[in-house]
Structure 1
Amino acid sequence: METSLMLFTRDLRIRDNPALAAACRADRVVPLFVLDDAILDGRFAAPNRVRFLHDSLADLRESLRGLGGDLVVRRGDPAAQVARLAGETGARTVFLADDRSAYATRRLAALRGIAPGLEVTACPGVTVVPPGALTPAGGDHYRVFTPYWRAWSAARHRPVADTPRKLRPAPGVRPGALPRLASLTSGTPSPDLAEGGERAGRARMEAWLAQDAADYDDVHDDLAADRTSRLSPYLRFGCVSPLELANAVPEGPRRQLAWRDFHHQVAAAFPDLPRRDYRPRGRRWNRDEDALAAWRDGRTGVPIVDAGMRQLRREGFMHNRARLITASFLTRNLEVDWREGLRHFGDLLADGDIADNAGNWQWVAGTGNDTRPNRVMNPLRQAARFDRSGDYVRRYVPELADLEPPRVHRPWTLPAARRRTVDYPPPIVHLE
């Protein structure tokens, strides 16, 4: 009987999973996830992402057991673990998602070199349109979003993959226990971190589609309303299919999915995106550790910035408009290197996707794919426009909870006697 291995990576779902659907064409399939020590021993094993991953693996295992299978969990080098399991089961084929990060590219090369006769197939599913599927005339990738968006909108997308009805496992394979969370990370996750997993992701997706997706263009920038989908961590771990989501939403949120694909195709063509300026501008950055620490801690004295940074620490998530404001403040007002911001976001974001995170930071810093590299987002104007009521600031900066607009955004304009009763610092840079 033919046996296939299904190596889960960033596709922790059973619905619309092309790799899983392909693996299930064999007589028997062995689903596998490898906890890679190369990731768990480095800074990429941020507590929020590890907790979200742990949730997602537990949920995936439950779903696979419901189909008659199980999730084999191993720890170590993915290529070595695949080779060992292929030897134990007699599997001759391996399927996995076609991720194009620098790490994933090295992993795929290692998998394809582990054993003669073992066929390794990478299937779409991490993005709506795979990196490299769309290229401009005379180039290997799109450097500007608008022409990419036109090509992306006109592209024919793959059909949604069938969900397996039943899995036939290989006999004699011990699934292994899912390690305790404490053995995978020494840090403490954010207190209000969302639950991971396909079940939680689909519930969130269905609720958002029913309630808020149609109004996306009107509400997605409203900080206090908090009516964005909050699906980014589920997309990052593949708990929700980006293609299913793209098929279900209007143009506004579909455009955001195209931005995600855009950054992935940039990162595939320019693997140094998290480390090196995509478009060098000769910027000279400040080394101000005190200012950087104040920004990280949400104590800059600029309420809209501090609210975003505190949301990040509390939830492992930040509203997209707040991400733009806080990133612009760090790189434009404080003139601190975008890589410092990228690192801090990477330490806390559950959705810390390397391509998206680095691409957006470089966009804001003027070293990436923005066609207006001198763009500056004035935090006071942004606050007046996107948190007009001040409710977003009050939610995350409790020291200012009893202030009314416009003072909640400019507490330093309070009378001196009143300022002394508010435990909140003055701005670390001049903004007025």
Structure 2
Amino acid sequence: MPVALRRWIPTGCRPTPTDPATAPHGGIARRPQAPTCIRRGLRPGNTWCRTPRTPRTPRPPVPPSPVPPPPPRSSAMNVSVVLFTSDLRLHDHPPLRAALDGARQVVPLFVRDRAVDGAGFAAPNRLAFLADCLRDLDAGLRERGGRLVLRSGDVVDQVCKVAAEADADEVHLAAGVSAYAHRREQRLRSALEADGRRLHVHETVITAVAPGAVTPSSSDHFAVFTPYFRHWEREHLRDALGAPRGVRVPESVGSERLPTRTELSGLSQGLAAGGEEEGRKRLMAWLRGGITAYEDRHDDLAGDATSHLSPHLHFGTLSPVELVHRARRTGGPGAEAFVRQLAWRDFHYQVLAARPDAATADYRGRGDRWRSEAAAREEVEAWRTGRTGYPVIDAAMRQLRHEGWMHNRGRLLTASFLTKTLYVDWRVGARHFLELLVDGDVANNQLNWQWMAGTGTDTRPNRVLNPVTQAKRYDPDGAYVRRWVPELEGLRGAAVHEPWKLKGLDRAAYDYPDPIVELADGLARFRHARGRD
């Protein structure tokens, strides 16, 4: 990536008539003399005045002296700043490696950006996971002789302050994909350039393949996954980097106190722990066993053969490049299916990078006149609290509230139910997911919701997932439903998916609501809205 440069002027110097940049006559300073005028009656100071006396042969113009380069810093004072964002790890961290290779001392910096808090993205579950990640990152740095510097406020202001405090030459940063990340990079570049410092932005830190690295011939991004994946598979990935052995941090740079999850309220009870150490433990255990069953069982709601690595990918405690390499070395159908899911993640990132409006607007408008949250208040509340009367929907929504995470098959079912069976605006559901999901990632959350709503990149935008048939297929014995809907634990087998079929006293024995909508009615409404009836 290009770096910011500016003309260097030695500290303490100001432009004067003898400076090459401003002096007349090509930078040659002439001895002042009292001017007289060529024409009679003109006073000194007129534009036609010049120095009198005997004419001299003019010297040939001397070209301006080149602007001198900045004096080399002492190697003992050479400092770089590494701004951590969604890459809270030490393994396979190109910005950190580049900083360590080019400087004697490095400031590992994380800024608690108030703009993110104000935009509503700082949900309690993610703040708790973030607190774990920051403490783990700090611990890893301390094991290597360093520490993490934490600041709060405007990210650009804080980076510039820290760079000034450390007398740093350069700032290193992982490339982002969102509109916010792009604005942050632009603001940082301008501010650092004004201070005479350089910004280095590194690709393939947050993604395995950078947005824009592969494109179709007629567009700036792929709108369909299958052709994107064909190109993605052929891309050469850089090698994964090891963690650094040592990190020296200037003692003069102060830090705020690191947060802890115990300071937060409103957390999901079963929220997983964060941090690189935890992520690597989970990764290694899954590669040793779970990945082999992933192809056949990744949709099994009760068995749950998924990796549970999505929060670690979101916060960057694990590297997507390293995950692709490790999965490919493991081999087998399960590993291939997992790599395909990592490609889906990159696919959504390249869509959002090209179409940042897709975070809030239909990627492909279908002319929908969605029901608003206010118009469907009772149904939306039943959906949120897991009281729709459809057990698999309620089980998934309760899992989300309890763990801050939901099985991917559950995400598909609950999104289809809200947008197509209830015909409620997809943004209502996407917003609720972002409030609770510990892996609440704008690109993947919003674009997966659009996929299910039929306004995104799906090539079959009008398909509707039937929660009963899906439950019987992916939770055939009802174990998943009984785990999260204890009111129905007395129902054995597939009967748990249709409790409304119970008669009389048997049905009254279960404190469970009737369905809030008939599936046939919901389907008819959706088909009519899409002009398919």
The verdict on a shared fold, with TM-score over 0.5 as the criterion, is: yes
User: Is the CA contact (8 Å cut-off) linking 1:30 and 1:170 kept in structure 2?
Assistant: yes
Aligned to 1:203: 281
1:127 aligns with 2:192: no
CA contact (8 A) 1:46 1:346 kept: yes
Partner of 1:252: 337
State the distance in 2 between where 1:423 and 1:181 align: 35
In structure 2, distance between residues paired with 1:305 and 1:383: 9
The residue matched to 1:290 in structure 2 has which SS?
helix
Conserved? CA contact 1:21–1:164, under 8 Å: yes
Deviations 1:408-428 (A, max 9, x none): 000000112111110000111
Aligned residues between the structures? 430
Residue in structure 2 matched with residue 219 of structure 1 by the alignment: 297
Q: 1:240 aligns with which of 297, 303, 318?
A: 318
Match of 1:340 in 2: 428
Quote the offset at 1:180 in angstroms.
4.8
Preserved contact between residue 133 and residue 274 of structure 2 (Cα < 8 Å): yes
Matches of 2:119 and 2:221, distance apart in 1:
30
1:358-403 CA-partner distances (Å, limit 9, x unpaired)? 1100000000000011111111110010000100000100101110
Distance 2:353 2:260 in 1: 34
Structure 2 distance, partners of 1:43, 1:176, is 23
Q: Please, which of 90, 96, 100 is the counterpart of residue 20 of structure 1?
A: 96
Q: Does the 8 Å contact 1:70/1:175 carry over to 2?
A: no
Helix, strand or coil at the partner of 2:413? helix
- 2:132–2:260: 8 Å Cα contact kept in structure 1? no
Q: Which amino acid aligns with 2:298?
A: H
CA shift for structure 1 position 182: 6.8
1:146-196 residue CA offsets vs partner (Å, 9 max, x unmatched): 00000000111112123211112123122331135476x6x4110000000
* Partner Cα distance (1:193, 1:429) in 2: 32
Is 1:419 aligned with 2:497? no
Task: Give the conservation status (yes or no) of the 8 Å contact 1:274–1:339.
Answer: no
The 2-side partners of 1:416 and 1:257 are apart by 49
Q: Which residue of the partner structure matches residue 118 of structure 1?
A: 197
Name the structure 1 match of 2:35.
none
Three-state SS of the structure 2 residue aligned to 1:100 is coil
Which portions of structure 1, spanning 4 or more consecutive aligned residues, are displaced by more than 3 angstroms? Answer: 179-183
Could you say which residue in structure 2 is the equivalent of 1:41?
Answer: 118
* Coordinate RMSD, CA, aligned: 1.2
Query: Shift of residue 225 of structure 1?
Result: 0.2
1:21, 1:162 within 8 Å by CA — same for their partners in 2? Answer: no
Separation (CA, whole Å) in 2 of partners of 1:279 and 1:351? 25
SS at match of 1:24: helix
Residue identity opposite 1:236 in structure 2:
H
Which runs of 5 or more residues in structure 1 are unaligned? none
Structure 1 position 97, deviation (Å): 1.0
Write out aligned runs for 1:15-414 (5 A).
Answer: 15-25=91-101, 26-115=103-192, 116=194, 117-124=196-203, 125-181=205-261, 187-249=265-327, 250-286=335-371, 287-414=375-502
SS of residue matched to 1:33: strand
Between 1:254-263 and 1:37-46, the stretch displaced more is 37-46
- CA deviation vs aligned residue, 1:309-340 (integer Å, no higher than 9, x gap): 00000000000000000000001100001000
Structure 1 residue 3 displacement after superposition = 0.6
In 1, the alpha carbon distance for the partners of 2:417 and 2:251 equals 57
Partner SS state of residue 495, structure 2: coil
Paired residue type of 1:319:
H
Question: Shift of residue 14 of structure 1?
Answer: 0.1
Do 2:128 and 2:260's aligned partners in 1 also have CA atoms closer than 8 Å?
no
The gaps in structure 2 that reach 5 residues or longer are 1-74, 328-334, 521-533
Question: Distance between the aligned counterparts of 1:239 and 1:402, measured in 2?
Answer: 41
**Structure 1 CA distance for aligned equivalents of residues 81 and 248 of structure 2:** 12
Distance 2:290 2:353 in 1: 33
Whether the 8 Å contact between 1:6 and 1:29 is mirrored in structure 2 is: yes
- Residue 343 of structure 1, CA deviation: 0.3
**SS at 2:201 equivalent:** strand
1:408 is paired with a residue of what secondary structure? helix
1-side partners of 2:281 and 2:140: how far apart? 15
Distance 1:54 1:179 in 2: 6
Aligned with 1:8 (options 80, 84, 87): 84
Give the whole-Å Cα distance in 2 for the aligned partners of 1:208 and 1:180: 27
- Alpha-carbon distance, 1:262 to partner: 0.2
* Distance in 2 separating the partners of 1:10 and 1:130: 15
Deviation at 1:352, TM superposition (A): 0.3
Give the match's secondary structure for 1:407: helix
Most deviating of 50-59 and 155-164: 155-164
Q: Structure 2 length normalisation: TM-score? A: 0.79
Which gives a bigger RCO, structure 1 or 2 (Cα 8 Å, sep 6+)? 1
2:364–2:455 CA contact under 8 A, matched in 1: yes
* Cα distance, 1:105–1:86 mapped onto 2, change above 3 Å: same
